[in-house]
Amino acid sequence: MPKIVLLEKIHASAVAHLKQQGFTQIVEVPKALSGNELVDTLSGVDAVGLRSNTHLTADVLNHLPHLRTIGCFCIGTNQVDLGAAAALGIPVFNAPFSNTRSVAELVIAQAILLLRRIPEKNARSHRGLWDKSAKGAYEVRNKLLGIVGYGNIGAQVGILAESVGMRVCYYDPESKLPLGNARPMPTLESLLEQADAVTLHVPGGSGTVNLMNRERVQLMKPTAVLINAARGGVVDIDALNQALREGKLAGAALDVYPVEPKSENEEFVSPLRGLENVILTPHIGGSTEEAQDNIGREVADKLARFLKAGTTRSAVNFPEIPHIEKEVQSRILHVHRNEPGVIARMNADFAESGLNIVAQQLQTRGAIGYAITDVDGPISDALMKKLCKEPATIRCHLV
């Protein structure tokens, strides 16, 4: 029975799912660990679940020869040395889609609130003012939503937007299947010129830094609003600040910032603080109870499938093999260096032992090869030793 350790107060849905899958040796540690404490806790453990504060460096991983898989119960995987894990034959899983809906719902809410000028009305009411004016307050019905980055979140936003009567267009440099009645735009500029609300759903990184620069912010209609729940670096904040203060943009909602406080004790600093037509939220686009619950189940399921069947579908650092039910006596998971002759030699070893291969899947990724082989008889200790000693073998397990 594999041993599983879940660190950092992972949602209860994870343990529930693992137990449902038949795993009984589960230890929960309600905090992040580091150094010797981390290595001691994970020694002899088959699978570890963590969030963003436990760092599995190459050094830590090298001290954990027993560890077979890692589950990041979050979206990001920076806290794990993915290359080192792959080189050691350890697939790493995360939960890339669990909070898609949460972000999409927030964006629609923000579009509605901004186009109705609710942030300003709210701020004035708090100050004792009674501003009943309809000036500049619009329904979202029939307005054009421009989605920049039509990936998982962008496409989901488009579906929700149409369900409240918006028209949807999008810009993505990759060719994407339009969902519903969404219309691809030939250029980002044409989207910015036409949309009543622009929402950004591009990846972070050097390719999208200041994507919304001064020139592009100026292209937007003065009645339009800008929403950024992607990554902070995507918008030139000074340019946005200027456009808002000069009335060249009706409003904005930001959930992410170029510089974000590292903890709740640090002050949040932004030139946009105090602007009544701006909604500022502390990077909570994906933070809902439902998303946490989904993350718990999604990653626990990936760990369970790997431990029970060797499935590596959607691993972030590893050759991906989809789930295949094990229908014969023995399944061997073989991780090896991606070089010629490994599978031929392994299959010769099976044949020599009188075993018939019923099914075999091989995938490679960079320097790593991964094979799942189902055979129709028991695997002897001698054969297992032989497979493990093969010079290209990184890991070999029986499930």
Shortest separation between residue 7's beta carbon and ligand NAI, angstroms? 22
CA–CA gap between residue 77 and residue 145 (Å, rounded): 31
Of 15, 192, 202, 252, which one interacts with ligand NAI (CB under 6 A)?
202
Q: Which of residues 24-63 bind ligand NAI (CB under 6 A)?
A: none
What character string, x for contact with ligand NAI (CB under 6 A) and - otherwise, covers 71-110?
Answer: ----x-----------------------x---x-------
Residue 313 a catalytic site member: no
Q: How do the residues of the chain divide into helix, strand and coil, expressed in percent and rounded to 5?
A: 35, 20, 45
The yes or no reply on residue 158 touching ligand NAI (CB under 6 A) is no
CA–CA gap between residue 395 and residue 389 (Å, rounded): 10
> Which residue, 99 or 317, is less far from ligand NAI as judged by CB?
99
Q: Determine phi and psi for 10, rounding to 5 degrees.
A: -70, 145
Shortest separation between residue 109's beta carbon and ligand NAI, angstroms? 13
Of 64, 67, 80, 148, which one interacts with ligand NAI (CB under 6 A)?
148
Q: Which of residues 264-283 bind ligand NAI (CB under 6 A)?
A: 283
CA–CA gap between residue 379 and residue 396 (Å, rounded): 12
Q: Give me the sign of the Cα torsion angle 12, 13, 17, 20.
A: positive
The interface region with ligand NAI, picked from 107-115, 142-150, 338-346, 379-387 by CB under 6 A, is 142-150
CA–CA gap between residue 328 and residue 351 (Å, rounded): 16
Nearest to 32 by CA among 78, 64, 95, 79: 79
Q: Which of residues 238-267 bind ligand NAI (CB under 6 A)?
A: 255-256
Of 172, 196, 236, 374, which one interacts with ligand NAI (CB under 6 A)?
172
DSSP 8-state class, residue 282: -
**Residues 200 and 146: beta-carbon distance below 8 Å:** no
> Which residue, 119 or 233, is less far from ligand NAI as judged by CB?
233
Residue pointed to by tokens 């050759």: 319
**Which position among 139, 189, 215, 260 bears the catalytic label?**
260
Residue 283 a catalytic site member: yes
The interface region with ligand NAI, picked from 134-142, 165-173, 349-357, 378-386 by CB under 6 A, is 165-173
**Which position among 17, 231, 331, 336 bears the catalytic label?**
231
Q: Give me the sign of the Cα torsion angle 310, 316, 318, 323.
A: positive
Residue 260 a catalytic site member: yes
Of 94, 208, 312, 330, which one interacts with ligand NAI (CB under 6 A)?
208
**Residues 251 and 113: beta-carbon distance below 8 Å:** no
**Residues 212 and 96: beta-carbon distance below 8 Å:** no
The yes or no reply on residue 286 touching ligand NAI (CB under 6 A) is yes
Of 23, 150, 257, 370, which one interacts with ligand NAI (CB under 6 A)?
150
Please count the other Cβ atoms lying within 10 Å of the Cβ belonging to residue 151. 17
Q: Which residue of the chain is nearest ligand NAI when measured via CB? A: 151
The yes or no reply on residue 3 touching ligand NAI (CB under 6 A) is no
The yes or no reply on residue 285 touching ligand NAI (CB under 6 A) is yes
347-355 own/partner pairs: CB under 8 Å, 24+ apart: 347/373, 349/383, 349/386, 349/387, 349/390, 350/375, 350/383, 353/377, 353/379, 353/380, 353/383, 355/330, 355/379, 355/383
- Catalytically active residues are 231, 260, 283
Q: What residues make contact with ligand NAI under the rule CB under 6 A?
A: 75, 99, 103, 148-154, 171-174, 201-204, 207-208, 211, 229-231, 255-256, 283, 285-286
